[in-house]
Each structure stands twice: as C-alpha cells, then as structure tokens.
Amino acid sequence: MFVLNFFSATTWTLLALAFALLLLYGIWPHSIFKKLKIPGPRPLPFIGTLASFRKGLISFDRECQAKYGDVWGLFDARTPVLMVTDPEIIKTVMVKDCYSTFTNRRLIDSLKDKSHSKQEQYPQFVAPYSLDVVTSASFSVESNAINDPDDPINTHIKKILNFSLWPFFLLMVFPFCGRLFELLRIELMPRLSLDYLYNIIKSFKDQHGPEESSRADFLQVMKQNEIPETDIKSEHDQPSKGLTEREILSQALIFIFGGYETTSTTLTYILYNLATNPDALQTLHEEIDAKLPRDAPLRYEDVVGLEYLDQVLSESQRLIPTAPRLERACKKTVQVHGLTIPEGTLVTIPVHLMHKDPRFWSSPELFRPERFSKDGGEEVNPYAYMPFGLGPRNCVGMRYAVLTMKTVLARLLQNYTVETCKDTVIPIEFNWILQPKTPIKLKFVPRQ
C-alpha cells in the first residue's frame, strides 16, 4: 500500500504503459519464425536466444540441428537469425543470390634462434609472424614483431582485438544506443589504438615512392587508383572506379585485421593436429625432406608442390574451422527452395556442423588428410566445406594465407618436429565463442 501511495494513479498508469511498450519492443520481432512455421528455441524478451550461448556455440548448434533439422530460427537479441545446414539453400544464399539479395554480412552502425634445445613452447610466434608477413607483403614495411614483443603495431592490434563485447551486446538489443554511446564517449574499440594504426598506414602510404621505383604491393596498387575525396558526391552517387584516401586506409586496416588472428589461429590448430597425429606428421616430414632443398631459400614452386601439406591444411581447417559460422544479411524478402526468408534476417551457416556432418564425410571426427587427396580421396561437397567462406564474398586473402601458412610450416618442419607435452589440453576445450579456453601448448624438438 505504502508503495502504491508513492505515485499518483496517473503516474502509475503511465509507468505501466511505458513498461508494456518496452516489453512489446523486446518481444515484437520474435513471432516472425513462428508465423513462417520455422522451428527453433523459444526466445526471451530483449535477448532472444543469446542466453543459450552459455552452453557453448558448438553444443548449442549441434543440439538445435538434432532437434529441428536443417533449418531453424534463432534471435540475436531482436535480430532474426536463420540457421541453415542444407547444401542447396547454402548454395543459393552464398553463391546464386549473393549479388541480388545476400550481399553483405551483419552491419553494426625467428624461429631458429628461438629454440636451440628441447623446450616447451606455445606457438606464440605465429601471430607476430603473420603480422610481419602482412606488413612486408602488403605495405613493403619490415616490422619486427616476431623478435620484439613490444612492437607497437602488434601491441595496438592486440588492444583492438581484446575489445569488450558488452557495448556490442547493448547495441544488438537497443540499436538506438549508438547515439548515446557517442554522447557518453563510449568507444566500441580503443580509439587511440585505431588512430595509431590509421596514422601509421597513412605514413606507409605517404612513403611509397613514384610508381616505377616501388614494389607493386597492395598499398601501391590502391595508391595508383587514388581519387580525391571530392569525387564522392554522396553515398549513393559513387564513381565506378577509384578509391579515396580514407577508403585506401580503411581497406589496408581490414587487410591487417582480416589476416592477423585468422592466419595465426589456423596455424596453431594445424600444429596441434600434427602433434596429436604423429603418423600424419611423419608423412609430412617425409614429403618436406624429399621435395625441399635443405639449406637453400624456399621457392614458390617448391612450396606449391607440397601436396600432402595442402591436404593437412585442408583437413585441419575442416576439423577446427577458424570461422565457425558464416552469415549473410537478407536485403529483401525472398523464397529459397520453398522457404520464405524475410528481409532483415541474418542467414547463418554453422560451418563447424557442416564440416563434421556424417552425410558429407566419412568418420568426420578423425584427422585424415588423405581424404583431400586428388586421387583416392573423398568427394568433397563444395557447399559442405567452407573454411574460407563461400561465393563472391569469400575470403580475399585465401591464396595468400595458404601460401603464408605452407611456407612457415615447411620451414618449421624442416628443422623441428612438434609434439604434445604435459600441458597440452587434449582435446582442445573451447569457450562459448569457439576460442580455446587456455592457450594451446606444444613442444618443438629440433630434428637431427
């Protein structure tokens, strides 16, 4: 009674109305899949089915597929997410209708000197190594992250990648919070680090000399196609060719981020799979010893010719895909194989499920590189295997990443063998966003 007297009847009515409206806002989009008779777990107001991630992405997706089949609906807060494991629907979304309907993803406004003797290591060198490679190949800048743990580029990238998830979560539930974040000066990513990287890439670009004397790296190619910012009249009236300075710098940043963690994480999983599968490692050592000259520089043709290494890469990426899910935003309501996909839905492919689905793979849980052999391997369904994505929006860095990984593995395995040690967690335990709960620890032993 005391509480009721706190406000007038009118105020209570307004409060109840506001609460009802807020609740309605929180549940409004959640009926969409029910109307379309698409099954799925029951969403909660505001957060949708996000709470189910507590179980971990792998087991949650697996549980849903077992319960609902090849198509089910989830809600990332208020955004409808259509999960699909049917290869025909995947083909239409990722390839056939990519340009017309499913164009974009979600938008939110030295090895030798390091181990002389038998010792335990985490494959920690792989992230700085991939950074050094990307800055050298893309910008002709020789960074030294592999030998210098305090290398500023490396430090700033790590700060950016370790961003907190909660502002993103808040934006999913309340998209209009973007303006509030601006007013409160809440940054989604550390502004200082982003500014540092943006400015340093600008200085790389400014240092690139005249065309004829420069290496034709990624930055040079973009610089040759630079147009003034004033050529952009509006967002919808864009010149058909050319990039402004801002676009060049943003693309360069995307290149660094696209390749940094992905390449190093994938390399780490490959080393882990080799350490836990000594037979495959033995076969790979034999191929490397037979095909590569020992004390000569590696040539492109030598690396490309390492076929078993290719199979190891493919199989490792099948067993532990670095990107566990792919997504495309549906920009207009369409019918795909009898299924209505409403505008605004995120079509999502649980890659990790496709890669282990017994309908497409024999003994999917086993690490068997030979299944990717050109003669005598398994027939791979292209819509059930997608470590670098699928269709026109797949990974632009794929060939480059494969070459980088093959080069580092070939050189490393010429000189070392990789083994598990007492601290290796087998199998790897993943957290809810499919990252290893603890760093992967392996032992590198110099070869005789």
Q: Which is nearer to ligand HEM, 352 or 368 (CB)?
A: 352
Helix (H) or strand (E) holding 419: strand 416-419
Nearest to 444 by CA among 111, 149, 145: 111
Q: Which is nearer to ligand HEM, 139 or 367 (CB)?
A: 139
Q: Which is nearer to ligand HEM, 177 or 428 (CB)?
A: 428
Residues in the chain: 448
Decide: 423 and 122 in contact? Cβ < 8 Å: no
Q: Which is nearer to ligand HEM, 146 or 173 (CB)?
A: 146
Cβ at position 153, least distance to ligand HEM in Å: 15
Cβ at position 327, least distance to ligand HEM in Å: 7
Residue 342 DSSP code:
-
Determine whether 279 is exposed, middle or buried from the number of CB atoms within 10 Å of its CB (0-12, 13-18, 19+). Answer: exposed
Q: Which residues bind ligand HEM (CB under 6 A)?
A: 134, 254-255, 258-259, 262-263, 266, 322-323, 326, 387-390, 393-397, 400-401
- The CA distance from 41 to 73, in Å, is 7
Decide: 266 and 322 in contact? Cβ < 8 Å: yes
Cβ at position 265, least distance to ligand HEM in Å: 8
CB contact burial 239-268 (16+ within 10 A = b; e otherwise)? eeebbbbebbbebbbebbebbbbbbbbbbb
Q: Which is nearer to ligand HEM, 139 or 255 (CB)?
A: 255
Q: Which residues pair with 347 in a beta bridge?
A: 82, 328
Which residues have C-beta within 8 Å of that of residue 218, sequence separation ≥ 6?
137, 138, 139, 252, 255
Q: Which is nearer to ligand HEM, 400 or 416 (CB)?
A: 400
Decide: 330 and 102 in contact? Cβ < 8 Å: yes
Is 395 among the annotated ligand-binding positions? yes
Cβ at position 382, least distance to ligand HEM in Å: 13
Q: Which residues are annotated as a binding site for heme?
A: 395
